[in-house]
Structure 1
Amino acid sequence: MDQPVSTVRQEAEVGRRHTPEFGARTLLLEIELFLLFFVATGLTVTCLIPMWLGAVGNTVFLYALYTVVHEAVHSNISSRSKNLRWVDPLAGIIACAPLWLNYHQHKRQHMEHHAHTNEETDPDIYARGSFLGWIFIRLPLALLNYFNPVQQYRDCQRFNCTKREYVYTFLTFAIHALILIGLVAMGYGSEVLFLWFVPWWLGQTVMLTFFTWTPHHDHTETGRYRNTRVALFPFANFLLQGQNYHLIHHMMPAIPYYRYKPVFDELRPVLEAKGVRIEGILPDPRNEHHALSGESPR
């Protein structure tokens, strides 16, 4: 019986050609997003635009900002420029602040996700299950735990944070809380609600749905070519900031988000031969592991 031909070397060569010396485009995205935030917030509090319009701008800001965090976590900003590794945590910490994320803890958590994708120890395995259960139960609970210091402590334990990272996590949490409490005490409660909390909740709901639930559903397969998928639909690459090619990210995490598409286009014949899931905006149940194997769905 013929052994399957490995194409990992070919894939790695394509990946190397699409890995830049420095990910300046991600830094540009961060600057553009913060400009959007400051302009939308400033125009709203000075009553030059209505609150709802400022909220729309900040929802876009808070949805798109995680891409900067994600690139920083993978050191994709400094990329090949190892002498600029300090840029990644700096850009990541700044981007984490409006998202109520703790950079060092989150980096450990995300690396665990890559090491154990769709396994029972995957930090994102909480997303496993139906879409309605995700939207109305599992995701809201996950978002609420952002504000739970006990859960933050447990996560530090779970992901083996160092003592310094414990300090960073709780110092960051305290600063976030003090800023929030201070703004409310100063009489900006409605602005906090409509220019940050509601946009944050909406932005994170969309982001986590398309970063976590959609690309990995039904969260059961663990192989290189099947633990996530590709979603092709109009404007997908723009709207999802490349995460419709989530498979490419898991195969080669050092490739920046803005080069997933050319890598996929070049490797598509290879990937199709490997049986990758190339679908539309939503996962196709017919392509799930239990459907292909004849097993009953979970």
Structure 2
Amino acid sequence: MDQSQSTVRQEAEVGRRHTPEFGARTLLLELELFVLFFFSTGLTLAGLIPMWMGAAGNTVFLYALYTVVHEAVHANISSRRNTLRWVDTLAGIIACAPLWLNYHQHRRQHMAHHAHTNEDSDPDIYARGSFAGWIFLRLPLALINYFNPVQQYRDCRRFNCTSREYLYTSLTFGTHALIIVGLLALGYWREVLFLWFVPWWIGQTVMLTFFTWTPHHDHTETGRYRNTRVSLFPFANFLLQGQNYHLIHHMMPGVPYYRYKPVFDELRPVLEAKGVRIEGIVPDPRNERHAFSGGAPR
């Protein structure tokens, strides 16, 4: 048995030990976030807190909520209990609603990302490029396309959605649109703008930056140990909900987000030997593929 096979087996064993029978903690996170949303929105509408405070609470809600979607997409809530896969779907659909996401379509898209990470066919390859281009051009365009039904249809085709998933996507998009149009028609444009849209835009900008651009930059390497990175800085695990250990997620998608750190800590010597990128909050260009020559840093 060669060393690479031995290492993968070791990694898999560590991952199995850190995979729970059922991911109840993710359901608790979803409940806590919706409580935050209802309190911040309700108190604002009742005039008990100012609009900016409600907006701040809802920004946290809309930033953190994607973690629930992400865990549901990977069936990390039901985890080892295959008969409870419906829990992932239900929790995921509920979490998708405030994010204007279509659960079934998004699940296919995210699986394609894992299958083709950093390849030209990667759905997230639009993030490739400079940070300025990401923040001011590519990310805003991606966010605008959330509200483009033609783009949603194209994505269903691109990711080979079934006819039922086409229907689910259409119904989801239509329901989201009717709710927003209805609220606007009733004169709640300020509430929609400051308690949902602005928090959504900020929350998604932060979330996608740390889920998509930061962990995979410069979006060129495709190997098991180099297609994403580890980002270590104070409070990173809390602030990024484990995604500073994004490499662990790609290596072992079945491990839940709250177990990434112990898996990384246990495997760190192995990962360092494999040349994993372990950096700070900002990707280090010295560790990018173009910075290497002949297999060694320049």
TM-score tier, shorter chain, comes to over 0.9
Residue 273 (str. 1) matches residue 273 (str. 2)? yes
Name the amino acid aligned to 1:143. Answer: L
Aligned to 2:99: 99
Structure 2: gaps (5+ residues): none
Q: Secondary structure of the equivalent of 2:292?
A: helix
Residue 252 (str. 1) matches residue 248 (str. 2)? no
Aligned to 1:69: 69
Separation in structure 2 between the aligned mates of residue 84 and residue 122 of structure 1, nearest angstrom: 30
Displacement, 1:293?
3.0
> When the two structures are aligned, how many residues end up with a matched partner?
294
Cα-to-partner distance string for 1:25-83 (whole Å, 9 max, x where unaligned): 00000000000000000000111000000000000000000000000000000000111
1:91-170 correspondence runs (5 A):
91-170=91-170
1:194-273 correspondence runs (5 A):
194-273=194-273
Separation in structure 2 between the aligned mates of residue 282 and residue 42 of structure 1, nearest angstrom: 37
1:181-196 correspondence runs (5 A):
181-196=181-196
Aligned to 2:20: 20
Displacement, 1:4?
5.0
Q: Secondary structure of the equivalent of 2:200?
A: helix
Displacement, 1:289?
0.3
TM-score, normalized by length of structure 1?
0.97
Displacement, 1:5?
3.5
Segments ≥4 residues shifted beyond 4 Å: none
Name the amino acid aligned to 2:54. Answer: G
RMSD, aligned α-carbons: 1.2
Percent identity over the alignment?
Answer: 85
Cα-to-partner distance string for 1:212-239 (whole Å, 9 max, x where unaligned): 0000000000000000000000000000
Displacement, 1:292?
1.2
Name the amino acid aligned to 2:89. Answer: P
TM-score, normalized by length of structure 2?
0.97
Name the amino acid aligned to 1:248. Answer: I
Name the amino acid aligned to 1:205. Answer: T
Name the amino acid aligned to 2:157. Answer: Q
